Structure 1
Amino acid sequence: MSGHTGNVKSVVFSPCGKQIASAGDDGTVRLWDSETRESLFVLKGHTKPILSVKYSPDGRQLISGSEDQTVRVWNTQSGELDHVLRPSLGYVLCLAYSPDGRWVASGHKKGVLQLWNAATGELGPVLRGHFESVTGIEFSPCSQWLASSSHDRTVRLWDMYSSTLLSVSSGLSTCECVAFSPDSLQIASGSNRRVRLQEVGGNDWKVRLREVGGCGWKVRLRDIATRPSSRFRREDVPMDQIAYTPDGRNIFAQDSNRVLRKWDAGTGESSEFLPPEFAEPERTSCMAFTPDGSQIAVSYPSGSIHLWNSQTSTPGPVLEGHSSRISTLVYSPCSRWIASVDWENTVRLWDLHNTEQLHVVVEIEQGDIVVVVFSPNSDQLAIGNRGTIRLFDLLSTEHLTFNELTDDLIQSMVYSLNGRQIAIGDTDGCIQLWDVKSTKFGDKLIGHHSNQNSVRCIAYSPCGQWIASGGQDTTVVIWRRQVMGGAESWSRCHSIGSFFRLVCNVAWNPVGPMELVTGCWDGSIRVWRLSSDKDGNVAAKMLWGSNLGILHTAGLVFENATGLSPVNQKLLDQHNVIAPINDQSDSQLVKGRKN
């Protein structure tokens, strides 16, 4: 079948097998009758070479991706152009349709994947993680997962329900393509780098290499169902910042890669909230956002701070003054002020109502940890360093007090809702309550495991009757306020212990009753609802979670299960949970215990 005037870069059969689509360097897509080999349509519109073409599952549409940075959607029956998608993320190197017909995915030269609503063409989430060009993408036959390969020598597995990264597998050389097995249990990736003939790993991890025509071919099989923990590892991206919007309807969270996401607080549906300008985390040092998410502050290694309108992606003022890399950025609750801390422990305060005004500088002479927090009314800034706390008045720009509070290092601080008290988390697993006016200590809350397990985050509930704290001991502790005879006291009433790394953020829903969100270094976001019975016993129920790679199954009894699919049997068997009684896959009777 002749007709193309340049190299043919992509060829694919239609689902019914009656058509063939081809595309290449001449910028055209050609549709062929697979039986007669006659040319049906020549589809023109791309201005540069086309690198990938894919049919929709029903065969009615065809998508083509090009070096002109567009994805074009064609009608395969008429040859007409339906619409054009413009991701603006670099060359479109590869494309994929989900088998259920809901999603289109495009892989780009800049290392990102863009998801699209296949029916409407609307933008979906952007999946970031690869550091070089995405060379191959494919949905699993069940449409639950998306696999991608890249020149960065990794294969990444993505969860389509939460749009999060599940696992990363590193290879020995550049990955050129990726494919799922028909049962969705294996991923195959291939490369064409010259390598020695070898076999790596056991039965679940095989590499077969052979020399063909002077070029080394390698195919690597990854079994994602039998041993995911040993071969596929989730990318644990710590959550640096997490907050509810003032109306309690959404949650914003920023991870250590400077990626900002927004979740619906009720349903857990998420979307990427970060403008494309911030897609280069290696060029930035830290980031912060206003309580309503309308403005983002991004700092660069030079020490400059750039402000952006996150809704319009338009740049705002640039704040210059720091001479070294910035480690901390914090907005005030009223969004007027920004506090910044650099690697030289210099704290600067910026008034966004007058960015030309000379900002206040506080030099911290000792210590390598500086914690800054604004009061709820945005009239004070508290600066903690080692065991010392400084209070700073924002309007008069005067230092209010300087106190040596504790021998332990300060790890976290937060004002109470009325601004009269500051809760201080230290490196010994304790929380100390400090009265701002009298400068005296109140209760010392002991509930986290000690032995250098620091308290990394603290939050007061909107009603002021509860405190939630998270720490290095991988737990969240709930504290209850009690007042007897005019004296205040706090008691530990519940502990949530289903985390796998330290808990770095906790925030209460400002309007929802007894609801809070947690951010963890295991990369998870979880929303909890607290309840108490008539005896005062408190319980926590997880409403939803994102990027949950492992379920907590301590003490689980699993018995009398019937009708397990082969996939579920295999998943349970890998953890020694089940002992099959017979080989009838449709009616297994299973009984076992997981400790």
Structure 2
Amino acid sequence: MAEPPKKMARREQAANQKDAAPTDVSIIIQFQSSTGDDTGPQLDIPHNVTPAQLEVLLNGLLNNEEKLPYSFYIEEQELLGELGGHLAAHKISVEKALRVVYQPQAVFRVRPVARCTASIPGHSESILSVNFSPCGTQLASGSGDTTVRFWDLNTQLPKHECKGHRNWVLVVSWSPDARYVASGDMDGAILLWEPAKGAGSVGACSGHGKWITSMAWEPAHKALPSQRFVSGSKDNTIKVWDASTRRCLLSMSNHSQLVTAVKWGGEGLIYSASRDCTISAWDDRDGKLVRVFKGHGHWVNTLALSSEYALRTGAFDHTGKAPEELEAARQRAAERYAEATGGRPERLVSGSDDFTLCLYEPSTNKTPLARMTGHVQLINQVVFSPDGRLILSASFDKSVKLWCGLRGTFLATLRGHVGPVYQVAWSSDSRMFVSGSKDSTLKVWDARTRKLKVELPGHSDEVFSVDWSPDGGSVASGGRDKLLKLWRH
């Protein structure tokens, strides 16, 4: 005989109350670092303790002279309010000591961009790529008008117009010491520029037969001054170049379709993604194939590394300063890379036309740590936060999704755009990010509350490219309306 509905409801309610954490008693916790090491003894704390109070406790346990900001995670969920309420909401048991994982936050804080401070004409066709220099003081853009332009961020005026390409400039990439800029076009030509020396090209790298899709430089902790960079092309090959001689040092090919993305990792591996649905890892010394990853069922469009912010900025800190001596700069770049990885293997995330992301530890295993599903259209870009704890994915389904950067678990969907989202960029403190869309707007989001912070209308057409300066002061955007826009607080 079936149980009466009211009796069933009471039984379920009692079961839920039994499973849920009590919110009116003291709770025993154990602080744990992100690498899994216990910090201090187990502590008996009240149920209504807040993250700010946990921060005070932790700083005391760590004997920090300067009080540092931390975020706290319980079973991968960030603690945002009182501990008891958090445990009850997520039905977390407190029968055993509660593991509270802490993660240091950036000591500095980036202010949200809120207004367009400059709308700079100059390009006569769509702007396809905008990139700040690693020090954050310079800006380069590539366009369908076949030029590369450098912009003065102090006066917010054009600085150099660089001519030499004969077709659309698709990719612009800064070396981590900010000395060189490499640009690639639809003819397969790569030109090198030294912004400090003016508008003239310092040489061309010839070898690709079809358009350049992606470029990346050797990390600063591996080599300073910067010399080598890698390019991927529609001709299915990956090539490593010497910037000083413009000669091809290595040419790698195992892909059967165009190479969509290349990344130069900090562990001695170069990664390439292709429309043949695979990702390859290559030894950066001799170009030998190390590993092939076959996690996707359709074109792989985009790659990102957990250490990418440290690789991009090299020896430069968040103020744009770096040691002047070469050995000191190399040592500082190595320290920043070690801080970014936290003693863990580098992680790689990929986004695909099969609507999924795959998270790997590519130096240790070719099997994905996680396969991340939820998007309902192709994924255009994936990006790790500067601290490596979060992943963003921008999709043609008009949404941005937020994922855990350590395990690949889903955290949130951010909706607000009414057109496909083309690109996203993080602020250097990992607290905010900006998205650019076909709907002609930029939107600034808060990573902690997962809510829209500022809406930035102003472009009159699609926004193809967006970047947030490493010093946190500016956002640059460009698109079909041919205008470069600078956004500041």
TM-score by length of 2: 0.43
Which protein has the larger Cα radius of gyration, Structure 1 or Structure 2?
A: 1
Which of the pair has the greater relative contact order for Cα pairs under 8 Å at 6+ separation? 2
Q: Comparing both structures, which one devotes a greater share of its residues to helix?
A: 2
TM-score by length of 1: 0.36
